[in-house]
Structure 1
Amino acid sequence: MAVSIRLSRGGAKRRPFYRIVIANSRSPRDGSFIEKIGSYNPQLPKDNENRVIVDLDRARHWLSVGAQPTDRVARFLDAAGLLERKARNNPNKAVPGEKAKERAEERAQKAADAAEAAKAAAEAPAAEEQAPAEEAASNSEEA
């Protein structure tokens, strides 16, 4: 029988409360369990000592027997100093997808075009100011 240490949900709608239980891995999430070894209340602030309560002796026993904790329970046990959890590394997590890259390129192109148009618009009045000054100078020479 494969045994796991996992969370079993309780509480009302939008007010979750979890029991940390030892259960057969084939049983439903909120179904029957072998033993309750703690609780987790995500509604409490993270620094509250009652947010996660674990009976470390029983958890140690079940880990020695071969029970496999889920990821979330492994985090709790790691925080309690009972289990060493390997840190995960996903270097591609922050890399944007293809569509996002295309949208970023389009935005950059539009920004470059707008900057170029603004520069051309700024140069055009300056050129127009020089042209009337030259015409006025040529008119004064003729007179």
Structure 2
Amino acid sequence: MVRIRLTRLGKRNMPFYRIVVVDSRKKRDGAYIESLGYYNPLRAPADIKVNVERAVEWILKGAQPSDTVRDILSRAGVLKKVHEIKYGKREATNETSS
């Protein structure tokens, strides 16, 4: 299964994470398929940078985000975009037929 999860970077007591697409059988900091962005929890508002288009593509292909990454992607607006792509057209057709 393909997962979207965090891989840890940074010095001791100064974590910095990269958001990556990886095979679920790989190690936490092992080889990954693609990097989608980063997450820095040490900033006052957490610093998040995500390539939204690529993240949406991977989720639509079936990649499952970890719980933490799901929260991060939700803050970045990725999950809202996925929902609009999956269910937006269906709602629009129902409104016009009424």
TM band (smaller chain): 0.7 to 0.9
Distance 2:77 2:40 in 1: 20
Q: Read off the aligned partner of 1:26 and give its amino acid letter.
A: R
**Identical pairs, percent:** 46
Distance 1:42 1:82 in 2: 19
Deviation sequence 1:51-89 (CA, Å, 0-9, x none): 0110000000100110000011101111122216xxxxx
Indicate the residue corresponding to 2:30 in structure 1.
31
- Structure 2 counterparts to residues 5-16 of structure 1, below 5 A: 5-16=4-15
Q: Read off the aligned partner of 2:9 and give its amino acid letter.
A: G
Indicate the residue corresponding to 2:93 in structure 1.
none
Partner SS state of residue 21, structure 1 = strand
Indicate the residue corresponding to 2:96 in structure 1.
none
Structure 1 unaligned residues grouped into runs of 5+: 85-143
Give 1 or 2: higher helix fraction.
1
Deviation, 1:11, is 0.5
Bigger radius of gyration among the two: 1
Distance 2:43 2:54 in 1: 24
Q: Read off the aligned partner of 1:54 and give its amino acid letter.
A: V
The answer to whether the Cα contact below 8 Å between 2:23 and 2:32 also exists between their aligned partners in 1 is: yes
Partner SS state of residue 15, structure 1 = coil
Q: Number of residue pairs matched?
A: 80
Partner SS state of residue 57, structure 2 = helix
Structure 2 unaligned residues grouped into runs of 5+: 81-98
Q: What's the C-alpha RMSD, in Å, of the aligned pairs?
A: 1.1
Alignment counterpart, residue 73 of structure 1, candidates 69, 72, 75:
69
* TM-score normalized with structure 1 length: 0.54
Partner SS state of residue 62, structure 1 = helix
Higher relative contact order (CA 8 A, sep 6+): 2
The answer to whether the Cα contact below 8 Å between 2:48 and 2:76 also exists between their aligned partners in 1 is: no
Give 1 or 2: higher strand fraction.
2
Partner SS state of residue 23, structure 1 = strand
